[in-house]
Structure 1
Amino acid sequence: MTTINSVTNSPATNVMPYLAIFDLDETLIAADSASLWSAYLVEKGVAPSTLLVEEKQMMQAYAKGKMDMESYMQATLKPMIGMDDSAISVLVDEFIKHHIKPALYQDAISRIQWHKRRGDKILVISATGEHLVKPIADMLGADDAIAINLEQVDGKFTGKTTGTLSYQYGKVIRMKAWLDEQDTAFKGSYGYSDSINDLPLLDAVDRPFAVNPDPALALHAQMNEWTIMDWRHDNNILR
């Protein structure tokens, strides 16, 4: 098993922090942020209602670990083609206020705060576009975020992605690249996710946690004696 400790080449310091890695959708929030974003764009008249039908079909494949992420991103980024950062930022700020903050799990916030009190570094890794993940991670108080990178030409979004998609094993590839850029070594690592799609990532950390796990991840966690956390109980969502 490749662990966080073994993939960082950073020199050790006197006090090495732990690295806490969180998936975003259905882990920290009681929803999928990309799906909410598509619905929001339809609501604002930026995207056609047919997007929701197409997106729902592709998300069914995601639940089975069989999504074609390239096709998903191509479909869901289409409404953003030709828009610039400032236009997207206005939409994202309103989106986070009205759709993300009300969907946060209180236990997720508490867990992030627990790590921060220990001096750990918080990293959010998501298979959602950076236009959503990075501002959401900032709102959560994370130290950094890894997401699917979006192409821009002359300051305008093209509807295409760039680099390795942070999806399935792509999350591990992106995480290793991120670690190579750090000037701090980590004493160990924690990983939190709900999805079987993140099995490669959870296998790569020292202390994996299955949070609100789907059936496939729950079974794997039970067989490997991983800690299972369920944050979906009543009154745990910030409304």
Structure 2
Amino acid sequence: MALALFDLDDTLIDGDSASLWFEYMVAHKLAPASMLAEEEAMMQRYYSGELAMEEYMNFTLRPLAGKACSQIDDHCQRFAQAVAAPRLYQEGLDQLAWHRAQGDEIVLISASGEHIVRPIANALQIPQSHVLAIELEQQQGRYTGRTQGVLSFRDGKVTRLQQWQRLHAHDAIAQYGYSDSINDLPLLKHVREPRVVNPAASLLLEARRQQWPVLRWQTRSNA
């Protein structure tokens, strides 16, 4: 049995779930509209590989501090169904089905917060035990606005994967890896068969240098 590792944002869905979620929070009065411009500027730095994820998470989790986990989790479920699910790439769904037919074990590994990644994983029929995302700290049933553990970002994705394998006594080979982002270069180099999806210019250049397959996926509505 082999592992097939999938990034989420701009890989399985058209867009970045963290940014889409932030827009959702503003629309539903969970965050002030005044924060949108700074979040957008941070995402530009992310796409160019210049963002410190700790900075982004500290900023975007600020509106959740002190809010009941149950309240936010209900919103995240609605967000996954109404916003994220319609943006899923049809080819991505087909690729997930192909790996399942082969008997591969699928792991969703994302640099977005687990509160938004886990509901989207349900829509993708990926078990919660196979979801690795940035963990949010909770105290007495409320989010603190802070993260915990190793952030699943850049080299942190490889670290989290290795932790997951040790925890589950899992010795399957990390055979396949899918991502759009130059930030996932450590993960792509960790697997035997990296495949880049709709890559930005920096990752496309690296893919051509390494002779990695380049996939072009579309949303179901555009397919």
Give the alignment's TM-score, normalised by structure 2: 0.95
Q: 1:187 Cα shift?
A: 4.5
Q: Aligned partners of 2:168, 2:191: CA distance in 1, in Å?
A: 17
Matching residue of 1:73: 57
Matching residue of 1:52: 36
Q: 1:125 Cα shift?
A: 0.6
Matching residue of 1:158: 144
Q: 1:106 to 1:46 in 2, by over 3 A?
A: same
Matching residue of 1:87: 71
Larger deviation: 135-144 or 202-211?
135-144
Q: Aligned partners of 2:169, 2:47: CA distance in 1, in Å?
A: 36
Matching residue of 1:8: none
Stretches of structure 1 lacking an aligned partner (at least 5 in a row): 1-16
Stretches of structure 2 lacking an aligned partner (at least 5 in a row): none
Q: Aligned partners of 2:222, 2:120: CA distance in 1, in Å?
A: 15
4+ long deviations beyond 2 Å: 182-185, 235-239
Q: 1:18 Cα shift?
A: 1.0
Matching residue of 1:174: 160
1:38 aligns with 2:22: yes
Residue-pair matches, total: 221
Q: Aligned partners of 1:177, 1:225: CA distance in 2, in Å?
A: 29
Q: Aligned partners of 1:187, 1:151: CA distance in 2, in Å?
A: 31
Q: 1:151 Cα shift?
A: 0.6
1:206 maps to which of 192, 197, 210: 192
Matching residue of 1:140: 124
Q: CA contact under 8 A between 2:174 and 2:190: conserved in structure 1?
A: no
Q: Give me the CA root mean square deviation.
A: 1.4
Q: Aligned partners of 2:148, 2:174: CA distance in 1, in Å?
A: 30
Q: 1:84 Cα shift?
A: 2.1
For 2:61, what is the secondary structure of its paired residue? helix
Q: Aligned partners of 2:36, 2:77: CA distance in 1, in Å?
A: 21
Q: 1:163 Cα shift?
A: 1.1
Q: 1:185 Cα shift?
A: 2.6
For 1:26, what is the secondary structure of its paired residue? coil
Q: 1:237 to 1:190 in 2, by over 3 A?
A: farther
- Which letter does structure 2 place at the counterpart of 1:120? D
Deviations 1:132-157 (A, max 9, x none): 11121122012311011111111110
Q: Aligned partners of 2:20, 2:160: CA distance in 1, in Å?
A: 25
Matching residue of 1:27: 11
- Which letter does structure 2 place at the counterpart of 1:183? A
Q: Aligned partners of 1:225, 1:206: CA distance in 2, in Å?
A: 13
Q: CA contact under 8 A between 1:106 and 1:238: conserved in structure 2?
A: no
Q: CA contact under 8 A between 1:171 and 1:201: conserved in structure 2?
A: yes
- Which letter does structure 2 place at the counterpart of 1:41? M
Q: Identity of paired residues, percent?
A: 44
Q: Which has the larger radius of gyration?
A: 1
1:217 aligns with 2:220: no
Q: Aligned partners of 2:173, 2:149: CA distance in 1, in Å?
A: 29
Q: 1:189 Cα shift?
A: 1.3
Q: 1:188 to 1:62 in 2, by over 3 A?
A: closer
Q: 1:191 Cα shift?
A: 0.2
Q: CA contact under 8 A between 1:81 and 1:159: conserved in structure 2?
A: yes
Q: 1:97 Cα shift?
A: 1.3
- Which letter does structure 2 place at the counterpart of 1:204? H
Q: 1:26 to 1:84 in 2, by over 3 A?
A: same
